[in-house]
Amino acid sequence: MSTPLLQVRDLAVEFRLKRGLLRPARTLQAVRGVSFDIERGQTYGLVGESGSGKTTIGRAILRLVPSSGGSIVFDGQDIGAFGRHTPLAYRRDVQVVFQDPMSSVNPRQSVGTTLAQAIARHRPMDADERRREVRRLVDSVGLASYYTERYPHELSGGQRQRVAIARALAVRPRLIVCDEPVSALDVSTQAQVINLLVDLQREFGLSYLFIAHNLDVVRHISHRIGVLYLGRLVEQGGAEAVHGAPSHPYTRMLMASTLVADPKVQAQRSRERRGQVRSELPSPLAPPTGCAFHTRCAWAAENCRTVMPLLQAAPQAGVQGACHRLREVAAPRAGAPLEGATA
């Protein structure tokens, strides 16, 4: 098997918060000890609540924030060795699609101009060839060729996201960081954009880091899934295994809090939710001791308050969980797989 396209090892990212009028300077550890691989032509899905560190990991890969520890190796090259200036080849190889497509397009430029500029920056070709390439791009994201004349305000949310994807594709990337690319879209448009990303992955052999807070959405596109809680991975494994029978109490909580159309599945998730501890997400500035999830965990025992659990093999094949009570959480009586999870 070939080496992964991207290897993240023990990644840490911290933000120094300046001192205010009434408070001292503080350090927020947004990401701590995170390790995962993205295989060539595959998708790694990253899920977690708001503030869990998903975007920060994406930004560290894009070199938009410096890491404070660990390493990120892209195609065998440690990107920490790049120094202050990111090489053009890396900026081309690793692209991003944001939740808000308007943030990556100029509202005063037509779709055609936006795409032509992206091509010109990284792939020298004559004007005729560039025009043909722009048409190929809009076609590959499922838009008719007349959309090259349109401006962003004339497009629907789904169409804008297709343009943002075409813009990322324009430079022939190898990895795309998809940061909540469908969260702002209605459910049917979400499915269309996800199907498009899957088709493009097959056609161009792309790898994705797919970031979202909804485990159901992530599962549709991912080969592997990592679940983040307060900057640490608490569960990771094959997408079907993690989604089908979550091993970590936090993953179960995330699943139970996601609404689904199927009333039977929804009833089961509601029952699961009733058995959970209702508590706010702790401040990332003062994460709880031991297992950071213990303040919200129905399974928490004494050692969970004091000893931080490391990722270890879960009963589910190929899954790792960072929990002292993995076996009990996975036991049928305490935590039968969430019904319909694999539907």
Ligand X SMILES: Nc1ncnc2c1ncn2[C@@H]1O[C@H](COP(=O)(O)OP(=O)(O)OP(=O)(O)O)[C@@H](O)[C@H]1O
Binding site for ligand X (CB under 6 A): 15, 28, 30, 48, 50-56, 213, 284
Q: Is 238 exposed, middle or buried (0-12, 13-18, 19+ CB in 10 A)?
A: middle
Strand bridging mode 320-321 / 232-238: antiparallel
List, in order, residues 6 or more apart from 107 with CB less than 8 Å away: 151, 152, 153
Report the nearest approach of ligand X to the CB of residue 94 (Å): 17
Nearer to ligand X, 55 or 247 (CB): 55
Could you tell me which of 181, 230, 225 has the C-alpha nearest to residue 56? 230
Q: Is 117 exposed, middle or buried (0-12, 13-18, 19+ CB in 10 A)?
A: middle
Report the nearest approach of ligand X to the CB of residue 18 (Å): 10
Nearer to ligand X, 56 or 268 (CB): 56
CA 70 – CA 9 distance, rounded (Å): 5
∠333-275-238 over CA atoms, to 5°? 65
Report the nearest approach of ligand X to the CB of residue 50 (Å): 3
**Residue pair 92/122 in contact by the 8 Å Cβ criterion:** yes
Q: State the distance between the two ends of the chain, measured CA to CA, in whole angstroms.
A: 30
Question: Given its phi and psi angles, is residue 51 left (phi above 0), alpha (psi -120 to 50 degrees) or beta?
Answer: left
Question: Structure tokens of 341?
Answer: 């999870």
Nearer to ligand X, 48 or 335 (CB): 48
Report the nearest approach of ligand X to the CB of residue 250 (Å): 13
Nearer to ligand X, 219 or 232 (CB): 232
Nearer to ligand X, 52 or 190 (CB): 52
Nearer to ligand X, 213 or 325 (CB): 213
Report the nearest approach of ligand X to the CB of residue 148 (Å): 32
Q: How many other C-beta atoms are found inside a 10 Å radius of the C-beta of residue 126?
A: 7
Nearer to ligand X, 65 or 134 (CB): 65
Report the nearest approach of ligand X to the CB of residue 66 (Å): 11
Could you tell me which of 339, 343, 112, 318 has the C-alpha nearest to residue 235? 318
Report the nearest approach of ligand X to the CB of residue 146 (Å): 35
CA 163 – CA 148 distance, rounded (Å): 9
Report the nearest approach of ligand X to the CB of residue 51 (Å): 4
Nearer to ligand X, 193 or 209 (CB): 209
CA 13 – CA 151 distance, rounded (Å): 37
